[in-house]
Amino acid sequence: MRLLHYDDQGEVRIVSFDDCAIPPYAILSHTWGADAEEVTFADLQTGDSKTKPGYEKILFCGKQAQRDNLRYFWIDTCCIDKANKAELAFSIRSMFHWYRNAARCYVYLSDVSNQPLLVTPGHHDSQWFLWIWTLSILYTLSRWYSSVMHCYFYPRHVARTPVSSDVVRSKQTPEFTFKESRWFTRGWTLQELLAPSTVEFFSEEGTKLGDKLSLAREVREVTGIPCSALQGEPLSDFSVNERISWNEHRVTKIPTDRAYSLMGILGVSLSPFDGESPAEAMKRVTDEAEKQDKCLRDIHQTDPRNDKKRIEDTKGGLLADSYRWVFANLTFQQWQQRSDSRLLWVKGDPGKGKTMLLCGIIDELHNSMPRSALLSYFFCQATDPRINSATAVLRGLLYMLIYQQPSLISHVCKKYDHAGKALFEDANAWVALTEIFTDVLQDPQLRSTYLVVDALDECVTDLPKLLHFIAKQSSASSRVKWIVSSRNWPEIEEQLEQAGHKARLSLELNAESVSAAVGVFIQHKVTQLAQQKNYDQQMQDTVLERLTANADGTFLWVALVCQELQATARRNVLKKLDTFPPGLKALYERMMQQISVSDDATLCKQVLASAALVYRPITLQELVALAEPLEDLASKAEVQEIIGLCGSFLTLREDTVYFVHQSAKDFLFASAYNKVFPQGAGASHHVIFSRSLTILSNTLHRDMYSLGALGVAIEDVQPPEPDPLAALRYSCVYWIDHLYDSKPELWADSVGDLEVAGAVNKFLRKKYLYWLEALSLCRSMSEGVISMARLSSLAQAIHDDSSDKLTKLIQDAGRFIMYHKRVVESYPLQTYASALLFSPTGSVIRKLFWHKQPGGITVKPAMSDGWSACLQTLEGHSRSVNSVAFSHDSSKLASASYDKTVKVWDASSGACLQTLEGHSRIVSSVAFSHDSSKLASASDDNTVKVWDASSGACLQTLEGHSSIVNSVAFSHDASKLASASYDNTVKVWDASSGACLQTLEGHSRIVSSVAFSHDSSKLASASDDNTVKVWDASSGACLQTLNIGKALYHLSFDPTSSFLHSEIGSIAIHGPGTSSEIAVVEPALPQYLGTSLSSDSIWIKYGGRNLLWIPSEYRPSRSAVCGNRIGMGVATGRVWTCSVDPDTLTCMLSKL
C-alpha cells in the first residue's frame, strides 16, 4: 500500500508498505475537480504536483494528520496508479478496506465555507445582521445536543427531509451549505462515510465543522442513512435493498462505478469488466450480494448472541460484581495485554460460574475493545444437538465473524458455490469448516479478533478434533486471541498443552476471588428473596450467613437453594435452610429424595426420564405428547407446576425444557439411574417410542397445513396458528431413534417384540405418506431417510410369521423415501402426486396409498412392476464426469470431472462427503487404495494427487509425466501406485513416499489404462497403439505384449491373474513374449458371475448375460464395478449407481 508522508520541510513524498506492516494513517475523502486540476501519481513522481490546484488538499490532509499525530496519510488521486489497469481493479476492490482501517477520515468540503456573512449598511440593516449572527451562535451551541438526541429517538425508516423548511435562515449559514454540499451526491463518498470509525468534516478553509456523530442529524436528513449505521452498527444488520437505497440519488463520473462503489457496503468483492453496462454491473454486484446473504443464512445454525441472552436469563441475569474480579487477575491481564499470550483456558469444577464469568468477559471486551475489532463467541450445551458439536462451534464463530466483517464470506463462497448448504451439514462438514476457518484467520484483512468458546466439556461430538484445531490455530496469528472454558478434564488439558502462547486460569487456584464473587451473588439473591418474601433484617442476615457457610464457592449451589427458598413460606425458611447439605452432589441427592417422596413422584420421574433421554430440548407441548400422564392435567399452568417440582434439575425458558446445568443430567445417569430408570433406559426409550407412535397415528392426516395446491414449495410454507404439528415435531423426527435405542432385539420372539412389530406395521400401512408429508413440513426429510435405514436393520431381529411381510414393507418404504426424497422435501404435497405416480406398480406403498393420488393425471408409459435397480442419482458436478470408482469397503464412491474436481460420495445415502479441489485442469481418473484409506486422481495438468479418503487432505502431488495423465491404479497391497499418460509411458510410484520407482517405456502411443494383478506382482497397461503390455511390477520388465488390434480403455485382472477383463471380453495371459493373436475367452475357472457393463454401455450384465437396458439419458461415459454394484458417470455430470441382488435373480437367470 502506498502512503503519503508530509515532512518537516513541507514536502510530500510517497512511501510504500507491505500489507503486514502498514502504520496508522489518515485518509482523505473529497470530491474531484477537473482531471487537470487533481494531483496524480505520475505528478508526484515527476515533481509537477505543486502547480496544480489539487495540491492544496494534499497539504491540508498532511498538516491535519500531523496535528493528529499521524505520520502518514492516503489520497486516492495520487496514491493509485490509474494507468495500471490491474492496480486500478485491485484498488476498487480494496477501497472500502482502506477507508475502514484508517485511523481518521478527513472529509474536505470544497463547496462549504464557514466564513461569516459580510453585511454592509447599503445592503442589509443592522437588525437583520444581528438576527443572522445570533441564529448562527445558537445553532453552534445546540448542534451536538440535538444531534445526539436525534440519533437515539429519530425513527430508523423515515423519508428524506427536504433541505428547505419553514425556518428562515441565511443561505450562508454553515448548516445550510453543509447539507447542500456536492459531497453528499457522489457515489464513492457513501462508503467513505460508512467505512471509517472516525469521520471528520472540514470546510474549504480547513476548519473542522464536526464529525459524523456530532453531525449525525444533518447527515441523516440529507442521506436517509439511519443513525445506528453512522454510529458503527454492522452494515449486515441492514438488508441488501436498504443498503442499495442509500446510493439511490448518488452519481459517479464513470457510470459503472455507481455499482462498484457499493461493493464494500454490500460485502462483495468483484473485479470490473471492460465493456460492462451500468445495469449489468449493478446486477452482478446485487446478485453476488444476495448469494452471499443466502450463504450466511445457511451458515446460521444458531445465533450465539441469542444463546448468551437465553443462558443469562435462565440463570437469573448477569451480575457485574460477580465477575469483575477477573479483570484484576494477573493471568487474565497478561493474556489481554501481551501479544504473545493468545490462548486463555478458564477451568473449574461444575457450578463454579465459568459460563457467567465468560458472559461477563464478553461484555467487557465488547465495551472496551476498539470499534474495528471483532468479537465472536459460542456456548456449548451437551443437551442441545444444535450446539454440542465441533462443527456447530465453528459455524457459530464463523457466523458472528462474517456478520461483523462481511468480506470474510469470500472464503466460504469458494466451497459453498459447489456444495450449497450441504457444505455445513454433510459428513465432511468438519473438514470443510476447518479449511474455511483457517483461511479466515489467515486473511490479511482480518481485523483484531477475540474468539470465546464456553464449556468445551459439553461438546459431545468431535471434541478431540476441536481441541486440536484450537491448539493449532491459537499459535498461528498474533491478531487472534482465544478464551476457552471447561471442567478440569485431563483429556482437555492434554490437548491444550500442545498450544503455544497459552495461559491457564484455574478457578480452584483462585478460590478466594471466586468465593468473594459467590458472596456478592449470595448477597444479591438474598436481597431479592427479602423483597419478594418480606424477610425482616434478622431473617435476611440468617439466610445470608447460612448460604455463605455452605456454598463452598459454588454459584449453582446458591442458585438452586435460593430457588427452593423462593417457593418456601416465610415461616418455614429457617427450618428449610437446615435441610440443604453443602456440596452440589449432596444437594442433588437431597432434592432427588424430596421428589421421590412427593405426591407426584411417578410423574416427576417420568418427566425427568423423558428430559434425560430426548435428543434435543423439547417444548412443553412435545413433553405432554411424550409423557401420557401429563395429558390429564387441566392446564398449561399445571404442566409448568410439574416442571417446577423438578426445578432442581429442570428449567423452563420460552416454553422449552432445559436442564439447569449439565451436572444435573450427569447426576441422573450416574447417581439416580435406578430411581429415574427403574427398568433401565431401554424401557424408557420404548415408552417414548410407543407414545410417539400413538400420537402420530392419532393426529397425522393428509395436508396438515391445508396448503391445498400440490405445487406449494416448502420455502413458501408458513406454519398456521395454532400449528397442528407443534406437539408432534419431536416425535415425528425421532420415534424410530427411540425404538432403536430401546434395544428391541433383546425381546426377540417375545410378546413385547410382536407388539412392536404390529404397531410399526400398522403405522406404515395407514400413516406412512402422512408421516413423509410431516417430515417435509418439519424440514427433516434427511433424518427420515436415515431413520428408515435404522428401522430396516431392526426388522431383521423380529421373528414371527408376518416378519417377511413386515421386512418387505419396510424395505419398500425405505426405497420410496430414498427415491422421492428430493421432490417431497421441496414440495410436501407431491407425496401424494409425483411420489405415487412415479413409483413402480408393484410398490407396496404405492398399492396401499394409491387411492390418495390425485385424479385426472395419467402417466404413460406405465411404470415398471418393481423398483429400478438405480438406487441413487448423484448430482453436483458442473461438467462431464470422466471416471468413477468405489472404495473397496463399498462405503464410498469417487467421481472425477471436467470441472477440475473430485467428489467423494457416501455410497449408502448418496450425500456428497467431500469436494476435492487442487487440480488446475480436467480430472480424468480416480482410484481407491485397497484398504480404502487413500484416493488417487489423475489430471490433464500432468500430475497425480493422492488424498486422504477420510479427511480429504491432499497428501502428495506426484509430478513427472510430461503430458496428460489419464489413468491411475493402486496395487492391492497398497504399496505402489501406477499412472498412465499421454507421454506414452507408465510410471510406478511408491504410495507412501511419492517417489517414482520406475518409468515403463515401450508403448508407441498414448497409454490409456493400467491395472495391478491381485497379488500385486504384475501390472497391465493398454495403449492406443492397439497393444496390452504385462509388466513385472517389481523389476519393471515387460513380460508380455498382446497385439489386440484395437485400443482398449478398461483393464482389470481376474483373481487368479490368468485373465484380463476388458470391454471386448476376458483375455488369456500367456507366458513371456509377444502374442500376435490373442485369445478372447470366457474363462472356465473361475467363472465370472459378477455385475458388469457391456462394451457399448447399453446393458448392465450379470454372469455375462444382458440384464438391464440403460435408457440413453443414463448411459455412462465412465464406470466402475464393485461386486454387484456399478457406479456410472454420465456426460451431463450425473453420477448414478445400480446394484443387483443375486438371490432375487437366481430363478430368472436359470430361464435365460
| Res. 70: pLDDT tops 90 | yes
Report d(CA 419, CA 408) in Å as an integer.
Answer: 18
Chain segment 729-747, per-residue pLDDT in tens:
999 999 999 999 987 654 4
Task: Give the closest residue to 96 by CA, choosing from 232, 216, 196.
Answer: 196
The pLDDT value recorded for residue 669 is 92
Compute the half-sphere exposure of residue 361: CA atoms within 13 Å on the CB side of its CA: 31
Is the residue at 1044 inside a domain? yes
The pLDDT value recorded for residue 799 is 55
pLDDT band at 118 (very low <50, low <70, confident <90, very high): very low
Chain segment 930-959, per-residue pLDDT in tens:
888 899 999 999 999 999 888 888 899 999
Report d(CA 1108, CA 1096) in Å as an integer.
Answer: 13
| Res. 496: pLDDT tops 80 | yes
Q: Which residues pair with 461 in a beta bridge?
A: 389
- One domain, residues 380 and 304: yes
Is the residue at 450 inside a domain? yes
> How confident is the model over 805-810, as a mean pLDDT?
89
- Which CATH number does the domain housing residue 366 bear? 3.40.50.300
Report d(CA 825, CA 836) in Å as an integer.
Answer: 15
Is the residue at 409 inside a domain? yes
| CB neighbours of residue 136 within 10 Å | 19
The pLDDT value recorded for residue 152 is 38
Contact 988, 995 (CB under 8 A): no
Report d(CA 867, CA 125) in Å as an integer.
Answer: 99
- One domain, residues 46 and 82: yes
- One domain, residues 563 and 654: no
Range among 150-164, 591-605, 867-881, 954-968 with highest mean pLDDT value: 954-968
Contact 647, 308 (CB under 8 A): no
Q: Among 122-131, 263-272, 297-306, 899-908, where is mean pLDDT lowest?
A: 122-131
Cell 410398490 sits at which residue? 843
Name which residue leads in pLDDT, 20 or 586: 586
Mean pLDDT, the chain, integer: 84
DSSP classification of residue 1047: -
Task: Give the closest residue to 1097 by CA, choosing from 1117, 1113, 1125.
Answer: 1117
Burial of 766: CB neighbours in 10 Å, binned 0-12, 13-18, 19+:
middle
- One domain, residues 91 and 221: yes
| CB neighbours of residue 655 within 10 Å | 14
Report d(CA 470, CA 463) in Å as an integer.
Answer: 11
The pLDDT value recorded for residue 1078 is 53
Is the residue at 193 inside a domain? yes
Chain segment 970-1002, per-residue pLDDT in tens:
999 889 999 999 999 999 999 988 999 999 999
Total structural domains within the chain: 7
The pLDDT value recorded for residue 122 is 43
pLDDT band at 17 (very low <50, low <70, confident <90, very high): confident
Q: Is 267 left (phi over 0), alpha (psi -120 to 50) or beta?
A: left
Chain segment 1085-1098, per-residue pLDDT in tens:
344 456 777 777 76
| Res. 171: pLDDT tops 60 | no
Concatenating the DSSP letter of every residue in 1083-1126 gives -SSS---SEEE-TTSSEEEETTEEEEEPPGGG--SEEEEETTEE
Report d(CA 1095, CA 220) in Å as an integer.
Answer: 73
Name which residue leads in pLDDT, 27 or 85: 27
User: Domain boundary residue among 663, 678, 693?
Assistant: 678
| Res. 776: pLDDT tops 90 | yes
Report d(CA 525, CA 545) in Å as an integer.
Answer: 13
Is the residue at 145 inside a domain? no
> Pairing relation of β-strands 901-906 and 892-897?
antiparallel
- Grid cell, residue 856, equals 385426472
User: Domain boundary residue among 180, 198, 233?
Assistant: 233
Concatenating the DSSP letter of every residue in 347-379 gives E--TTSSHHHHHHHHHHHHHHHS-TT-EEEEEE
Chain segment 506-534, per-residue pLDDT in tens:
998 888 888 888 888 889 889 989 998 89
Which secondary-structure segment (H or E) carries 593? helix 584-596
Residues 6+ apart with CB under 8 A from 420: 298
Chain segment 181-238, per-residue pLDDT in tens:
999 999 999 999 999 989 999 998 899 999 999 999 899 999 999 988 888 888 888 8
- One domain, residues 524 and 500: no
- One domain, residues 320 and 461: yes
Q: How far lies 710's CA from each of 644, 726, 771, in Å?
A: 45, 23, 17
Name which residue leads in pLDDT, 822 or 331: 331
Chain segment 841-895, per-residue pLDDT in tens:
899 999 999 988 876 555 544 667 888 766 667 778 888 888 899 888 888 889 9
The pLDDT value recorded for residue 879 is 84
HEC-encoded secondary structure of 685-697: HHHHHHHHHHHHH
Q: Long-range contacts for 849-858 (Cβ within 8 Å, ≥24 apart)?
A: 849/768, 849/769, 852/702, 852/769, 854/710, 857/833
CA angle centred on 285, ends 280 and 286, rounded to 5°:
100
Report d(CA 112, CA 121) in Å as an integer.
Answer: 26
**One-letter amino acid identity for 186?**
R
Chain segment 28-44, per-residue pLDDT in tens:
999 887 878 888 888 88
- One domain, residues 467 and 531: no
pLDDT band at 700 (very low <50, low <70, confident <90, very high): very high
User: Domain boundary residue among 547, 582, 617?
Assistant: 582
- One domain, residues 723 and 653: no
Identify the sign of the CA torsion 107, 111, 112, 113.
positive
- Grid cell, residue 503, equals 495461559
User: Alpha carbon 1041 to chain centroid distance?
Assistant: 54
Report d(CA 888, CA 309) in Å as an integer.
Answer: 49
Task: Give the closest residue to 24 by CA, choosing from 77, 69, 80, 76.
Answer: 69
Chain segment 359-417, per-residue pLDDT in tens:
999 999 988 887 778 999 999 998 888 899 999 999 999 999 998 888 888 899 888 87
Report d(CA 377, CA 366) in Å as an integer.
Answer: 11
Is the residue at 316 inside a domain? yes
Is the residue at 274 inside a domain? no
Burial of 271: CB neighbours in 10 Å, binned 0-12, 13-18, 19+:
exposed
**One-letter amino acid identity for 502?**
K
Cell 523389476 sits at which residue? 1035
Edge to edge, the sheet with strand 1027-1032 lists: 1007-1012, 1018-1023, 1027-1032, 1038-1043, 1073-1075
The pLDDT value recorded for residue 823 is 81
The pLDDT value recorded for residue 753 is 62
Edge to edge, the sheet with strand 1118-1122 lists: 870-874, 1135-1139, 1125-1129, 1118-1122
Report d(CA 567, CA 258) in Å as an integer.
Answer: 64
Is the residue at 948 inside a domain? yes
The parent domain of residue 571 ranges over 510-582
The torsion defined by the Cα of 66, 71, 77 and 80, in degrees rounded to 10, comes to 180
Q: Among 270-274, 378-382, 662-666, where is mean pLDDT lowest?
A: 270-274
| Res. 673: pLDDT tops 90 | yes
Q: Which residues pair with 378 in a beta bridge?
A: 453
- One domain, residues 521 and 626: no
- The number of helix segments (H) and strand segments (E) in the chain equals 39, 42
pLDDT band at 763 (very low <50, low <70, confident <90, very high): very high
pTM over 0.85: no
* 1067 phi and psi angles, rounded to 5 deg: -110, 125
Contact 1032, 1018 (CB under 8 A): yes
Name which residue leads in pLDDT, 794 or 170: 794
- One domain, residues 42 and 80: yes
- One domain, residues 1111 and 1040: no
Determine what percent of the chain falls in helix, strand and coil, rounding each to the nearest 5: 45, 20, 35
- Which CATH number does the domain housing residue 626 bear? 1.10.10
- Grid cell, residue 845, equals 406403498
Contact 235, 267 (CB under 8 A): yes
> How confident is the model over 339-348, as a mean pLDDT?
91
- Grid cell, residue 1041, equals 505384449
- One domain, residues 206 and 91: yes
Report d(CA 1032, CA 1017) in Å as an integer.
Answer: 6
Task: Give the closest residue to 1088 by CA, choosing from 1047, 1056, 1048.
Answer: 1056
The pLDDT > 90 percentage for the chain reads 37
Report d(CA 647, CA 641) in Å as an integer.
Answer: 9
Residues 6+ apart with CB under 8 A from 90: none
